[in-house]
Amino acid sequence: MASIIEFQQSDIEVGSLLGTGGFSTVHSVDLSYMKLAEIDDYLAEQEKSFSQTVQQTSPEQQMTRRLNFRDSSEATLEACYHAEKAHVVKRLKPSLKSLPPHVQEMAAEDLKHEVKLLSELSSHPNIVTIYGVSSNFWEAPEKGFLCLERLVEPLDKALAKWKKEASSGIKILTRRHLAQELQAKRIQDVAIPVARAMAFLHDHNIIFRDLKPGNCGFGTAGIIRLFDFGFARRIDPKKTEDYKLTGHIGTLRYMAPEVASSEHYGFPADVHSFAMLLWELCTLQKPF
């Protein structure tokens, strides 16, 4: 697991609630200037780490990927120093204490698992950046938190906005041409980067299991990111058969049939989810 920053409670000032999940909450947060400086150094290490992953690619691919990383990391640094509440903290819901102990343990383990994966993977420009965790996180995750970059807009909200714009009063003569241009731009700015991120996960033997617009979001530079790795799992590359992973995991609308029916499944399940996302990008309609 890559080294990440350790936060004390005094390093943060928690702001407004931004969202909730099944077991967790996300709040905006302000960080101390000392921690912002640490993030500067951390992002430099992330760029170095990402550069090492592209050494086997062609010179053209290396240049493109490094430019993408530079754009995203510079935007993150600018946000650190100039934007209001450019970070978030994610923590377990206090209400979990009222649930059975085994549910609390499962939620805590899932959050730990997410931190381990993100600390390894978030050097990729299309995966949300994790900055660190609280000093008590590993011993008492129910009392700790993780600090992530704040995404500007989730893809599901962007899709709703694009759909509304597409149905607005554009002249019929120009609508088709404009729609084709916008569709091409969405594929370039969203579908291709998401596909690269998913390929990166699969290259690291990780299945995401919940790819959908609600788990993608735009960073400060407008670059799409994958986030919420709670359902992601690592697969042993030495095994050739599909894994007996937990069935019915993810979101039904984007779920592969074999997952919905609790059959054996593997990486193709992620490909199915990507196909549903791509269809929605192209049509601006919900699948099914």
Judge whether 288 lies within some domain: no
Task: Write the pLDDT tens digit of every residue in 103-144.
Answer: 999 999 999 999 999 999 988 999 999 999 999 999 999 999
CATH number of the domain within which 71 lies: 3.30.200.20
38 or 95, higher pLDDT = 95
CA-CA distance, 2 to 49, in Å (whole number)?
9
Task: Write the pLDDT tens digit of every residue in 74-102.
Answer: 444 333 333 445 899 999 999 999 999 99
As for how many domains the chain has, the answer is 2
Looking at residues 261-283, what average pLDDT do you find? 93
- Say if CB 210 and CB 251 are below 8 A apart: yes
The model's pTM: 0.79
pLDDT at position 286 over 60: yes
Same domain membership, residue 204 and residue 162: yes
pLDDT the model gives residue 75? 41
CA-CA distance, 75 to 148, in Å (whole number)?
14
Same domain membership, residue 141 and residue 158: no
78 or 276, higher pLDDT = 276
- Say if CB 121 and CB 127 are below 8 A apart: yes
Per-residue buried b or exposed e for 246-280, using 16+ beta carbons within 10 Å of the residue's own CB: eeebbbeebbbebbeeeeebbbebbebbbebbbeb
Residues designated catalytic:
210
Q: Which of 149, 174, 206 is the last residue of a domain?
A: 149
Judge whether 173 lies within some domain: yes
Q: Which of 90, 116, 149 is the last residue of a domain?
A: 149
pLDDT band at 62 (very low <50, low <70, confident <90, very high): low
pLDDT the model gives residue 25? 93
Q: Which of 120, 149, 178 is the last residue of a domain?
A: 149
Cα 265 versus chain centre, distance? 22
| Domain around 237 | 153-283
pLDDT the model gives residue 50? 61
Same domain membership, residue 129 and residue 27: yes
CA-CA distance, 214 to 156, in Å (whole number)?
5
Same domain membership, residue 128 and residue 191: no
pLDDT at position 22 over 70: yes
pLDDT at position 177 over 70: no
Same domain membership, residue 203 and residue 79: no
pLDDT at position 219 over 70: yes
pLDDT band at 251 (very low <50, low <70, confident <90, very high): confident
- Say if CB 247 and CB 259 are below 8 A apart: yes
DSSP state of 190: I
217 or 85, higher pLDDT = 217
